[in-house]
Amino acid sequence: MNSSDSEYLVFHAKAGNIAAFEALMVNEKPAILASIRKVFSPKVVRPEDLEDIYQAVQLRLWKKLPNYKTRNFKGWLKVVTRNVTVDEIRSTLAHAHVEIAGVSLDQIDPRTEEPDELIVKTREAIELLSPRETEAVTLFYHQGHKYSEIAVLMDISEGTVRTLLARARRKVKAYVTTVE
């Protein structure tokens, strides 16, 4: 497909033509999937993740297309795809369990009459971390990502990842070792 065909489909899809939008999505699917893969680590992406995110991208594109004003559709498509992918990752992380120093917060039953004090303090400490620190801790300790992968996923530098993790470890250790 040449650029004039894409422009034609974009013009008609923007006007609400569903068939033009579907044809545009069929033509752009390889580029969208490639953009999604650039954000994810190859070891992390499962086929169902790709398809779910691809569908979320399609939905966002359909909603945003009436406001599309630039002349660079491919660039706009990459930006929207990246933003949706990052949103999906963050949404997934918000529901992920966190484990630090062998203590998995998902395995802690808050109804236990006398839970282990270390577990309780670790849970409390993690709840006090900033959202960025929690995200970095989850990616590193729970999902086993490397610093470089976390940097890509969070759209920050590798040095910032190291700083966030060090700060989170310091906060958890300080909180856990405090005497009541």
How much is the pLDDT for 108?
44
Question: In the CATH scheme, what architecture does the domain 3-94 have?
Answer: Orthogonal Bundle (1.10)
Q: What are residue 103's DSSP bridge partners?
A: 100
Could you tell me which residue, 100 or 148, shows the higher pLDDT?
148
176's enclosing H/E stretch is helix 158-177
Domain ranges (residues) in the chain? 3-94, 99-177
pLDDT in tens, 77-108: 988 888 888 777 666 655 554 555 455 544 44
Q: 99-177 belongs to which CATH class? A: mainly alpha
How much is the pLDDT for 113?
40
Could you tell me which residue, 149 or 1, shows the higher pLDDT?
149
Residue with tokens 């497909």: 1
The tokens describing 33, both together, are 């999937």
pLDDT in tens, 10-56: 999 999 999 999 999 999 999 998 888 877 655 555 667 788 889 99
Q: What percent of the chain has pLDDT over 90?
A: 22
113's enclosing H/E stretch is none
Whole-number Å distance between alpha carbons of 11 and 20: 9
**pTM of the entire predicted model:** 0.53
Q: Phi and psi of 86, rounded to 5°?
A: -65, -40
